[in-house]
Amino acid sequence: MGTITRTFANNITTSGVFKPTAFNNASFDNVTAVPSGALPAGGSMVLLSTQTASGSSSISFTTGIDSTYKEYMFIFNNIHPATDSAGLQFNFSTDGGSNYNVTKTSTHFRTYHDEADAGTTLAYTDWNDLAQSTSYQNLTGALYGEGVGNDNDQSTSGYLHIFEPSSTTFVKHFIANFQYANPNDYTENSYTAGYGNTTSAINAIDFKMSSGNIDDGTIQMFGIL
């Protein structure tokens, strides 16, 4: 025991802190598993699918939305509409994409500021929300002058979170935030939240513009552990 005690003492400072020599990095070669609870759980984003628009009437994700993850996140990069002032929209499906018609209730507000520094607002926009409707939900403005501009340098980027879509007990909550350039050279930021009012599992989602095609841009689907 004396040898063990001396060896231990030689690897610790007088203040009780382990010295670098106390650790043998080579020992990690023999580790075959990490004990349960040794590492924090949750938070990792796993890329499941990426789709790129090219004059697309819509982009649908019909696989990969299941009970594997309790949260799904969609990231939109430079979605460019073919039609000026069109709005980006989505709808859910409970039958693998045969129908996109889940009943939704939502709320929507936006902020804007123009390039000329002449106009600003922070306002609830009730024309972009839904009340027990099966219509597509706007993620950006969709009225003339309020939607996404289609100039060559205009687009929208943002994200949409969906929580536990495979639940057969609870409604399906979602939150979204999008930034975009509108046709009148305003920067707009929109916030949308609500729920799909169904206890059926949601297993597909469809994205489209309120008019015209999605000319360009990518949408990525992540599962969040």
pLDDT tens-digit profile of 105-118? 999 999 999 999 99
- Banded pLDDT at 14 (limits 50, 70, 90): low
Residue 165 has which token pair? 């879509």
Read off φ and ψ for residue 216, nearest 5 degrees. -160, 165
5, part of any domain: no
Dist. CA 78–CA 53, nearest whole Å:
10
Give the pLDDT score at 143: 86
Residue 120 inside a domain? The answer is yes
- Whether 218 has a pLDDT exceeding 80, the answer reads yes
| Lowest mean pLDDT segment, chosen from 25-34, 48-57, 85-94, 192-201 | 25-34
The domain tally of the chain equals 1
d(CA 63, CA 49): 9
Instruction: Name the β-bridge partners of 71.
Output: 163, 224
Strands 120-124 and 104-114: antiparallel
Q: Quick check: is 134 in a domain?
A: yes
Q: How much is the pTM?
A: 0.81
SS3 state of residue 114 = strand
Residues in CB range of 36: below 8 A, 6 or more apart: none
CB-facing half-sphere around the CA of 205: CA atoms within 13 A: 25
- Which domain, by its residues, includes 139? 45-224
pLDDT at residue 48 greater than cutoff 90: yes
- Residue 24 forms part of a structural domain: no
**How sure is the predictor about 144, in pLDDT bands with cuts at 50, 70 and 90?**
confident
Residue 12 has pLDDT above 80, yes or no: no
Poorest-pLDDT segment among 29-38, 117-126, 161-170, 179-188: 29-38
Residue type, 169: T
Residue 23 lies in a domain: no
- Give the pLDDT score at 145: 84
Structure tokens at 103: 């009943």
Q: Which pair of tokens denotes residue 25?
A: 């990095």
pLDDT per position as a tens digit, 156-169:
999 999 999 999 99
pLDDT at 49: 98
Q: What is the CATH number of the domain that holds 206?
A: 2.60.120
Domain presence at residue 114: yes
Residue 1 counted as domain residue:
no
pLDDT score of 28: 46
Q: Which of 32, 103, 72 is nearest to 222 (CA)?
A: 72
In a 10 Å sphere around its CB, with 0-12 CB exposed, 13-18 middle and 19+ buried, how is residue 111 labelled? middle
Q: Give the single-character DSSP code of 212.
A: S
31 is a domain residue? no
